[in-house]
Amino acid sequence: MSSEKWPRTGAYAGLFTAIGYLAFASLPMPARLRHLLFFSLPLSGILFVAGLYALLRDRRDSIALQIAALFGIIGFSVMNVLAVVQIAIHLRMTARAPDIADPAMRGLVRWIEDSVNAVHLGLDVSFDIFVLTSVVLFGLAMIRDPRFRRSHSISIPSRSRRNPTSVRWLVCGPWRSPSGWRGAK
């Protein structure tokens, strides 16, 4: 693929990643489709990072920009491992649990599942660390790029009141705070 096509490929992959994640998180769908979507998000995320890097390096390549791309690719690779581990644990545990008639044994199986599930939660923290670092470094590179306004470069993580474990990214300019947005509380 020529270097001119990477930014466009990254843009399409970024849109797919964002829309796919929203669909995965909010829409009911059959389990197989849900798994397919979950497995495809890290791959499209990697393409998004590669495309964004190709776009920004044309103006000014720097160590920070290269680290942003590297950490973004590592983060989405960790997300791929996270998806495989999470779904494998879920499928294995749900396949075995219906065979158990004893309530005490079911409780033990549930405790084991919760304990093993900590592996995927640890991978989620690792994903967050790499992707957050990547987002910050890409944001700094975008501040220096004349094709982007400052409002494109500043990302503020905030926790939703309805779902305190999810993080949504709000883009705001230096002249506004998220609480100043229409409808914000």
Is the CB of residue 154 less than 8 Å from the CB of residue 174? yes
pLDDT value for 183: 40
* pLDDT over threshold 80, residue 185: no
Phi, psi of 153 (to 5 degrees): -100, -15
Residue 158 three-state SS: strand
Contact 181, 169 (CB under 8 A): no
The separation between CA 31 and the C-alpha centre of its own chain, rounded to angstroms, equals 20
Nearest to 10 by CA among 51, 43, 45: 51
Is pLDDT above 70 for 104? yes
Tens digit of each residue's pLDDT (9 = 90 or more) over 137-160: 999 888 878 887 655 545 445 444
pLDDT, the chain, mean: 80
pTM: predicted TM-score of the whole model, two decimal places: 0.74
Task: Please tell me the predicted confidence (pLDDT) of residue 171.
Answer: 38
pLDDT at residue 150, rounded to an integer? 58
- Report domain extents, the chain: 6-153
For residue 10, what are the CA distances in angstroms to 81, 108, 132, 169?
Answer: 21, 45, 18, 19
